[in-house]
A and B are shown apart, each in its own frame.
Chain A
Amino acid sequence: MAASNNLAVEMKGITKKFPGVIANDNVDFELEKGEIHALLGENGAGKTTLMNCLYGFLKADEGDILIDGKKVDITNPNVAIKHGIGMVHQHFMLVPPFTVTENIVLGMEPTKNSMIDYKTANKKVEEISKQYGLNVDPKAKVEDISVGMQQRVEILKTLYRGADILILDEPTAVLTPQEVEELVSIMESLTNEGKSIIFITHKLKEVKAIADRVTVIRSGKVINTIDTDSATTNELANMMVGREVILEVNKQKANPGDIVLEVEDLYAKNSRDLMALNGTTFSVKEGEILGIAGVDGNGQTELSEVLTGLRKKEKGTIRFKGREIKSPQTKRLFEEGISHIPEDRQRRGLVMDFKLYENLILGRHHKKPYVKGWSLDNKKIKEEARRLIKEFDVRTPSENVEAKSLSGGNQQKLIVAREFDRNPDLLVAAQPTRGIDVGAIEYIHNKLIEQRDAGKAILLISLELDEILALSDRIAVIYEGKIVDILDREDATEEKLGLMMAGAESEEVEGGNEVG
């Protein structure tokens, strides 16, 4: 099976160092022809670095790369493309006003009489689309098609350029569960036609469902390469993290109390001045977690910003602890007891050039005990910072380093520490675990449950359906700025939520609850 002539890609002894980090440490990786091979690891484990070396974005410090058994020197992506390697990035690189074909031929337009020959191009795109069951309309404009379709355009683009080896970087992050299923069947038809696929992910379930083999990377080292059938999800998780992981969040049934936050018929515009919230209505009670599920860009950002005073509402009412908040102002809301974990920690949550102790007082910097007379009480501030760093397990040499020198997971813990320490009545947690390692995710999840059990109201806004399902007591699905429906956790299944996330009414899905 591992005969060398059957290998599409062979990477031997790849080492890549960054200051303070060995991203890849003597990594061996093999891709067989016609297989789907998952590259599993936490954020920062080195999977993307390895693939960037293969695709020519980075140059490995040491090691060899063999394509079809021949040693190659991939200095840039063009060389990689020539060797039949194609990469689909997590963030698509498409021109929205262009048609599918225009996007696909961009940079290598076929010409006839020095004019771009769209007729031939369209035909070729359609052929490839049919061959692999991609079902893409070559003449549609990219801005008009769904995210799942755009991803297929990206795949088509690599195929058009003659790729035999496809690298998909976290391809399911932007998809609804139904779209994931479609992607899986496309991947299968690709491998049936002899293509080989490398599939970068940190989601265990997908590895089991999609991949033939999996290579687990941890802290830059390959832990193991195995057939996916030979390991359970739990075993994979342990390999990935390096210790026993509890995948299920351990929680008791919620004990909800009075309503803390009531949102009624809320309208707000996004930064492009288009209406993003279109009459959102829901409420959150003490001691419960309300999860907001939805595909990215359906008003989640605007919702969390309006609720924390960072964005103006157009109309609608917000009642917090029984009192209506007419014009929400961040400072006042903070003082009344709303904490916020922002979705973009580097832009909103932290001043990256501030020291940790400075970041930990953001929002409380004008109040006791941090201010004494005219001055900031730096001794007290640092003392509190050390307490929080210890309590929330932020890995750092000291409180005197700048926030930008921390890893993503530790930056997030820093924000969580600051926001929880305020002892809020309502916590708006937007994407609280985006892009951080499993250890930190586990930690933050447990902290959220802890806060819930202490009687706080928690609004959890997340694009990760698994996270919503694991933590929420009730789940509201948001679509185009409206709450489609709110389900109790027991009634919610991934399929149901998936359909609702795509805009299907709950009746269509089958008997949902009243919007409440």
Chain B
Amino acid sequence: MKLVDKNITEERAKYFQDQNLMDFLVPIISVIAGLIVGAIFMMIIGSDPIEAYKVLWSASFGSIRGFSEMIVNTIPLIFTGMAVAFAFRVGLFNIGGDGQFLVAYMASAYIGYIFQLPMIIHLPLAVLAGILAGGVWGGFAGLLKAKLGIHEVITTIMMNYIALYLVGYLASGPLKAEGPLPATPKIFETAKLPRFLPTMRIHYGIFIAIAVAFLIYYILWKTSFGYEIRATGLNPDAAEFGGISVAKNMLLAMFISGALAGLAGTSQALGLEYRAYQPFGFIGYGFTGIAVALVGKNHPFGVVLGALLFGILSRGAMMMQSMVGVPKEVVEIIQAIIIMFVASEYIFKYISRKMQERKGGLVDAN
């Protein structure tokens, strides 16, 4: 009797494990599907997809410079993707990555040029300024959600515009450097994220990004704080039952999410541009971060892979346009297809469920 029980529970457990396997397979299938659809489009407009995909590949992996540029594209996406993923773990949708990016961008640049300190103090301080600025920007939306129940999607979008005009005002007004450029003064050498390959733009931001991925993984799965975050995201009622303050965790998670998106701005200011320019619109790292998190299944390591994918695609888009004459919009189509496929994972699950049902269906045995 007990043996039978065991077999049944094992089979049920296996069924759910298969579902977890789907989580892993869906992004991969989606990427392949995106590439196939992209190829069809290229054939329609008369280009050779094989040639184009060769260029797409070699743009990032054909030369060290290409690789460096691809990583430069990838760094901010790791941070903004991580930001979306982390907020999602507590059940919130942070679409304010662009605003958090901008305030951190300005804060880091400001600390970078306002005084000079030994690098060992100056650089961490400038990074910290970005973390705090992004954190406060995201945390404010978290506060409004936790205390007043105002939906975070609304507030983070609005905070994006506040950040856009605030940073624009600062860069072209009070903090503007002498000269024609609408930008802050250049930051001191001591605040720069060092570049480590001669003449290449790849910088230490990539190591921070990878370290952050490990840190987020550690927080989520190895600490009681991460436990609370995940419990809140998966079942706020049960979290409450376990004495976990849902409001507190939402606030904290949004602060951390904002800080992560802020690191993207920080690496832009301290690793690439060495000053803060007046923004004329959103660069879109925050929004692409949503796609990255989606493809990465909200897992820190998945986010790194997802950011890499989008980094490769955006680098390849430019080269495909200039070398094979494939408009870069085709790459955008590929990206869109991938996102659609991942987002419509429900359809995959629905189909697999239907196939199960043919054999018997899934109904809770109790």
Smallest CB-CB separation from B245: which chain A residue? A331
A359 smallest CB distance to B (angstroms): 9
Smallest CB-CB separation from A220: which chain B residue? B365
Mark B2-34 against chain A: 1 for CB-CB distance below 8 A, else 0.
101110111111111000000000000000000
Which residues of chain A from 327 to 372 have a CB within 8 Å of any chain B CB?
329-332, 334, 340, 342, 347-354, 358, 361-363, 365-366, 370-371
B246 smallest CB distance to A (angstroms): 11
A16 smallest CB distance to B (angstroms): 7
Mark B221-242 against chain A: 1 for CB-CB distance below 8 A, else 0.
0111001101100110111111
Which one of B69-77, B268-276, B354-362 is at the interface?
B354-362
Given contacts A44-B366, A242-B1, A365-B227, contact A405 B12 (CB under 8 A): yes
Interface residue from B12, B16, B231, B363 paired with A351 (Cβ < 8 Å): B231
Q: Is the CB of B1 within 8 A of A334?
A: no
Q: In the complex, which residues of chain A have a beta carbon less than 8 angstroms from the beta carbon of B245? A: 331
Q: Is the CB of A353 within 8 A of B227?
A: no
Mark A376-412 against chain B: 1 for CB-CB distance below 8 A, else 0.
1010000000000000000111000110111111100
Q: In the complex, which residues of chain A have a beta carbon less than 8 angstroms from the beta carbon of B361? A: 18-19, 58
B243 within 8 A of A: yes
Q: In the complex, which residues of chain A have a beta carbon less than 8 angstroms from the beta carbon of B230? A: 351, 354
Given contacts A19-B356, A401-B16, A407-B365, contact A376 B9 (CB under 8 A): no
Given contacts A17-B360, A20-B8, A365-B224, contact A348 B15 (CB under 8 A): no
A310 smallest CB distance to B (angstroms): 6
Q: In the complex, which residues of chain A have a beta carbon less than 8 angstroms from the beta carbon of B366? A: 43-44, 407-409, 435-436
Q: Is the CB of B243 within 8 A of A331?
A: yes
Q: In the complex, which residues of chain B have a beta carbon less than 8 angstroms from the beta carbon of A219? A: 4
Mark B255-289 against chain A: 1 for CB-CB distance below 8 A, else 0.
00000000000000000000000000000000000
A19 smallest CB distance to B (angstroms): 5
Smallest CB-CB separation from A401: which chain B residue? B13
Given contacts A18-B362, A242-B1, A397-B9, contact A310 B240 (CB under 8 A): yes
A21 within 8 A of B: yes
A250 within 8 A of B: no
CA gap between A18 and B240 in the complex, in Å? 34
Mark A4-37 against chain B: 1 for CB-CB distance below 8 A, else 0.
0000000000001111110100000000000000
CA gap between A358 and B365 in the complex, in Å? 23
Smallest CB-CB separation from B358: which chain A residue? A61
CA gap between A342 and B238 in the complex, in Å? 10
CA gap between A405 and B17 in the complex, in Å? 10
Give the size range of A's interface with the partner. 35 or more
A375 within 8 A of B: yes
Q: In the complex, which residues of chain B have a beta carbon less than 8 angstroms from the beta carbon of A242? A: 1
A326 smallest CB distance to B (angstroms): 17
Smallest CB-CB separation from A435: which chain B residue? B366
Given contacts A17-B360, A18-B363, contact A397 B10 (CB under 8 A): yes
Q: In the complex, which residues of chain A have a beta carbon less than 8 angstroms from the beta carbon of B222? A: 375-376, 378
Q: In the complex, which residues of chain A have a beta carbon less than 8 angstroms from the beta carbon of B16? A: 401-402, 404-405
Main secondary structure of the interface of A (DSSP, over half): loop
Mark A463-478 against chain B: 1 for CB-CB distance below 8 A, else 0.
0000000000000000
Q: In the complex, which residues of chain B have a beta carbon less than 8 angstroms from the beta carbon of A349? A: 238, 241
Interface residue from B4, B5, B242 paired with A363 (Cβ < 8 Å): B242
Q: Is the CB of A351 within 8 A of B234?
A: yes
B180 smallest CB distance to A (angstroms): 50
Q: Is the CB of B365 within 8 A of A348?
A: no
Interface residue from A19, A23, A330, A410 paired with B241 (Cβ < 8 Å): A330
CA gap between A318 and B62 in the complex, in Å? 73
Q: Is the CB of B242 within 8 A of A375?
A: no
CA gap between A483 and B298 in the complex, in Å? 49
Interface residue from A331, A376, A405, A410 paired with B227 (Cβ < 8 Å): A376
Q: Is the CB of A16 within 8 A of B224?
A: no
Q: In the complex, which residues of chain A have a beta carbon less than 8 angstroms from the beta carbon of B224? A: 365-366, 370-371, 376
Q: In the complex, which residues of chain B have a beta carbon less than 8 angstroms from the beta carbon of A405? A: 9, 12-13, 15-16
CA gap between A61 and B9 in the complex, in Å? 22
CA gap between A308 and B238 in the complex, in Å? 13
Mark A401-431 against chain B: 1 for CB-CB distance below 8 A, else 0.
1101111111000000000000000000000
CA gap between A20 and B14 in the complex, in Å? 9
Q: Is the CB of B231 within 8 A of A20?
A: no
CA gap between A19 and B218 in the complex, in Å? 35
Given contacts A18-B362, A23-B365, contact A352 B223 (CB under 8 A): no
Q: In the complex, which residues of chain B have a beta carbon less than 8 angstroms from the beta carbon of A19? A: 11-12, 15, 356, 359-362
CA gap between A330 and B224 in the complex, in Å? 17
CA gap between A20 and B16 in the complex, in Å? 11
Smallest CB-CB separation from B8: which chain A residue? A20
CA gap between A128 and B197 in the complex, in Å? 90
Given contacts A347-B235, A371-B224, contact A21 B243 (CB under 8 A): no
Which residues of chain B from 324 to 366 have a CB within 8 Å of any chain A CB?
356, 359-366
Smallest CB-CB separation from A330: which chain B residue? B243
Q: Is the CB of B9 within 8 A of A44?
A: no
Q: Is the CB of B243 within 8 A of A20?
A: no
B351 smallest CB distance to A (angstroms): 16
Q: Is the CB of A354 within 8 A of B223?
A: no
Q: Is the CB of B234 within 8 A of A353?
A: yes
CA gap between A406 and B366 in the complex, in Å? 9
Q: Is the CB of A358 within 8 A of B9?
A: no
CA gap between A395 and B241 in the complex, in Å? 24
CA gap between A21 and B241 in the complex, in Å? 31
Q: In the complex, which residues of chain A have a beta carbon less than 8 angstroms from the beta carbon of B243? A: 309, 329-332, 334, 363
Q: Is the CB of A406 within 8 A of B9?
A: yes
Smallest CB-CB separation from B10: which chain A residue? A397
Q: In the complex, which residues of chain A have a beta carbon less than 8 angstroms from the beta carbon of B1? A: 242
Q: In the complex, which residues of chain B have a beta carbon less than 8 angstroms from the beta carbon of A378? A: 222
A367 smallest CB distance to B (angstroms): 8
4 cross-chain pairs, A with B, having the tightest CB-CB distances, nearest first: A20-B11, A331-B243, A408-B366, A17-B360
Q: Which residues of B contact A (CB under 8 A)?
A: 1-2, 4-6, 8-16, 218, 222-224, 227-228, 230-231, 234-235, 237-245, 356, 359-366
Task: Offer 27 A-B interface pairs, CB within 8 angstroms, sorted by A.
Answer: A17-B359, A17-B360, A19-B360, A20-B14, A20-B15, A20-B365, A21-B8, A21-B365, A43-B366, A58-B361, A61-B360, A308-B241, A334-B243, A352-B234, A353-B234, A354-B231, A362-B238, A363-B241, A365-B227, A375-B218, A376-B223, A397-B6, A401-B16, A404-B16, A406-B9, A407-B366, A408-B364
- Contacts A395-B9, A397-B6 supplied; 8 other A-B pairs, CB < 8 Å: A17-B359, A18-B363, A18-B365, A219-B4, A308-B241, A329-B243, A348-B241, A402-B13
